[in-house]
Chains A and B, each alone.
Chain A
Amino acid sequence: MTALLSIRDLRVRYRRDGIEVPALKGVGLEVVAGERLAIIGESGSGKSTLALAVAGLLARGAEIGGTLEWSASQSQMPRSFAPPSGLPAISPARGEIGSSADGSSPPATLEIGEGGDDGLISPLAGEMPGRAEGGVPERRPPAIGENQAPRLGRDIGFVFQDPSSSLDPVMPVGKQIAEVACTHLELTWPEAFAKAKTLLQRVRLPDPDSALRAYPHQLSGGQKQRVAIAAAIAAGPRLLIADEATSALDTIVQAEIVALIRRLVAEDGMTLIFISHDIALAASLADRIAVLRHGELVELGETRRLIEAPRHAYTRGLLEAHLGLDAKPLLDRQGASA
């Protein structure tokens, strides 16, 4: 068991209306290379904050403490990659990075890349990072250990809940996927476009040739999420983070997307962090489950053990609150007391 990512004492505080709100209060866990780890919790548990922190996507103004150690030494990137000089300098000690302003004007290649990324990662609160904005978005990843920071898009693929807001509405989806490949894999545009077509086939979009030229609004919700996944894995990231990636989809499409994620993760040997509010869905996919509550890790364990013998009362509560197809209907429970 080698850790791809070690999270130690991760603390995040947001500032809202002048009040500091803690979102994560010292969370520590290791993400094992090649595993499917689910992070579950209710609203306010910090599960999305954790995902955003790992991806370096926390909104400006978030205060971060603790360390994230990324094992880039085991990197098995398809080819060596020189990080663009425009990347913000990362102080190895304590999290704070020079903001994007320090990077002065980013190189042209980076600008395209970030534009593509922005298309993918737009739903940050309070930001409208349209393509026109270009440049490096504000990112404040926490301290990274001895190795260089993982780069979003190249090392980490991120799939958001709402593909309608994570895809650029005025750019053909093929181009959005190709941009990621072009930026991170040093491909020529025709190569990147061919890669985009292969990716659309891999995510099983019907008729990839015409899908390449389709705009997001011409696709269904499930198809858009397939496109977002194709873009997320375009550069062959080692870690795929799916943040409530199926929550806006209906049950049938959700099951299809979960199956797709499972297949792609297995085929590419990716590590998966699957963020969900749904303990049953998480259990159907994950090797291990981490339960967060109010910014703290309350339980972490193998899926089967955690489901069958939860150690923490809160985990038990989540299991009891789950209304499965074998649960005793509330109608009966009520009828008994009536």
Chain B
Amino acid sequence: MSVLAVSSLTKRYRRGSKPFAAVDDVSFEINPAETLALAGPSGSGKSTIARLVLRLIEPDAGRIAFEGADFLALSGAALRARRARLQMVFQDPLAAFNPRATVARVLDDPLRIHNIATRAERPRRIAALLERVGLDAGLAARAIHEISGGQRQRVAIARAIATRPSLIVLDEAVSALDVSVRGQILELLLDLQRQERIAYLFISHDLGVIRAVAHRVVILDAGRIAESGDARAVIADPQSAIGKALVAATPRLTRSRP
């Protein structure tokens, strides 16, 4: 059974007085331990889909089934409980966290809010989480603004996995990182996926990154699915106009220059 099944998802906004669909009749599924990438140009609806799946915004039409349950029907305590299983990592962890909070505080919150560990157990759990994402436990006392961008994104991942999610939405989660750090973070994500069978909804504008880590890809254009399929097959031989344009626009090291 799929972790996430989205069907006929639609979200309309108004541009001036004109309504337009930011997400238009989009359907896809993600299986356990699978990475599904959403690709597309700016304004294609990638991040709107992420926010709909996270229920940060409500759709105008369509259904979202998460772990087999009607996710849109949940509210209150039931929604909060289910949200522990659905986590997120954004592009800029400095914007996602209180910069003056300590790393320990950032990781303590989910453990406390979701009653995952008692107060006495939490320091040990925090140390284990830091270790799990490749950080020194001594980092716990540091403030978020004091650590590097790569370390912050590891903390964001530690926070996401603290509640043992079945799905993590990664919205341009490695886009702001230096390439050397990016590789390490991608390896960490793949390692976690193998160990914990976490599924990823992986949003990126970078086809090179998608091809490196995603099993399947959905290419969006103006809110609609232009094409989808095995990530490597689609990127190797895109069928849609937007897919072809994205592949053609991706810089290549081997390209012979005029």
Contact = CB atoms under 8 A, between A and B. Distances in A.
B252 A250 contact: no
Interface string A299-338: 0000110010000000001110111111101110010001
A254 B249 contact: yes
Interface residues of A, number: 37
Interface stretch (A98-106, A110-118, A280-288): A280-288
Contact of A321 (B179, B235, B251): B179
A220 to B, nearest CB: 8
Given A42-B180, A319-B253, A325-B235, 14 more contacts: A252-B41, A254-B249, A278-B251, A280-B251, A280-B253, A283-B251, A283-B255, A284-B252, A318-B179, A323-B182, A323-B209, A325-B247, A331-B214, A338-B194
A265 to B, nearest CB: 13
Nearest to A286: B257
A255 interface: yes
A277 B176 CA distance: 10
B190 A334 contact: yes
Contacts of B190: 330-331, 334
B207 A251 contact: yes
A329 B235 CA distance: 12
A253 interface: yes
B213 A252 contact: no
Interface string B224-258: 00000000100100000000011111111111010
A330 B178 contact: no
Nearest to B191: A334
A29 to B, nearest CB: 21
Interface in B172-211: 178-180, 182-183, 186-187, 190-191, 194, 205-209, 211
Contacts of B250: 251, 324-325
A279 interface: yes
A284 B257 contact: yes
26 contacts: A43-B149, A221-B42, A250-B41, A251-B205, A251-B206, A252-B245, A253-B41, A279-B179, A283-B253, A283-B255, A284-B255, A284-B257, A317-B180, A321-B182, A322-B253, A323-B183, A323-B206, A323-B208, A323-B209, A323-B212, A325-B235, A326-B254, A329-B232, A330-B183, A330-B190, A334-B194
A90 interface: no
B215 interface: yes
B178 A42 contact: yes
Interface string B94-119: 00000000000000000000000000
Contact of A277 (B178, B247, B249): B178
Contacts of B194: 334, 338
Contacts of A43: 149, 178
A330 B187 contact: yes
A193 B248 CA distance: 36
Nearest to B193: A334
Nearest to B42: A250
Nearest to A320: B183
Nearest to A248: B42
A249 interface: yes
Nearest to B176: A43
A334 B257 contact: no
Contacts of B215: 331
Nearest to B215: A331
Nearest to B248: A255
Interface of B: 41-42, 149, 178-180, 182-183, 186-187, 190-191, 194, 205-209, 211-215, 232, 235, 245-255, 257
Which label, helix, strand, loop or mixed, suits the secondary structure of the A interface? helix
Which DSSP category, helix, strand, loop or mixed, fits chain B's interface? helix
Contacts of B180: 42, 317-318, 321
Contact of A322 (B208, B235, B246, B255): B208
| Max chain B Cβ within 10 angstroms of own Cβ: one of A220, A253, A319, A322 | A322
Contacts of B254: 324, 326
Nearest to A276: B251
A304 to B, nearest CB: 8
Contacts of B208: 322-325, 327
A314 to B, nearest CB: 9
Given A251-B249, A283-B253, A327 B212 contact: yes
A26 B190 CA distance: 40
B95 to A, nearest CB: 15
Contact of B253 (A253, A256, A324, A338): A324
Contacts of B251: 255, 278, 280-281, 283-284, 324
A325 B179 contact: no
Contacts of B235: 325
Contacts of B255: 283-284
B226 to A, nearest CB: 13
Contact of B211 (A254, A278, A307, A325): A325
A253 B249 CA distance: 8
A323 B183 CA distance: 9
B62 to A, nearest CB: 25
Interface in A30-59: 42-43
A251 B207 CA distance: 9
Contacts of A323: 179, 182-183, 206, 208-209, 211-212
Interface string A220-258: 110000000000000000000000000001111111100
Given A323-B209, A334-B191, A249 B42 contact: yes
Contacts of A329: 211-213, 232
